Amino acid sequence: GGLWLPCAGSVTPWNTHLGSEEYEPDAKPFDKATTLEELRALSSEEYGNALNFMRYFGKYPGNFTMADVKAVFNPYKYGHITELA
């Protein structure tokens, strides 16, 4: 699913980059909303708006439905620590 907002992190003892995702999307609006309008109203830019992240999946405003959002976007798949070797 990609990274939401990677942070700088630091270097591990074995010389790899260790970072994490910051400001992962807020799952509460995603779980409560049943329409795109509800999701837009419940989401905030400060805590991550799922509708903005749809661009990552090639979906732009006006060409996706709530069913499309729920099919490709899972707010629980973010906020993980990443290590790059």
In which band, very low, low, confident or very high, does the pLDDT at 3 lie, cut at 50, 70 and 90?
Answer: low
With DSSP H G I counted as helix, E B as strand and the rest as coil, what are the percentages for the chain, rounded to 5?
A: 35, 15, 50
Q: What is the pLDDT of residue 2?
A: 62
Q: What is the pTM of this model?
A: 0.59
Instruction: Give the SS3 label for residue 57.
Output: helix
Which region among 9-18, 41-50, 76-85 has the lowest average model confidence (pLDDT)?
A: 41-50
Top pLDDT among 22 and 18 is at 18
In which band, very low, low, confident or very high, does the pLDDT at 77 lie, cut at 50, 70 and 90?
Answer: confident
DSSP state of 21: B
How large a percentage of the chain has pLDDT more than 90?
4
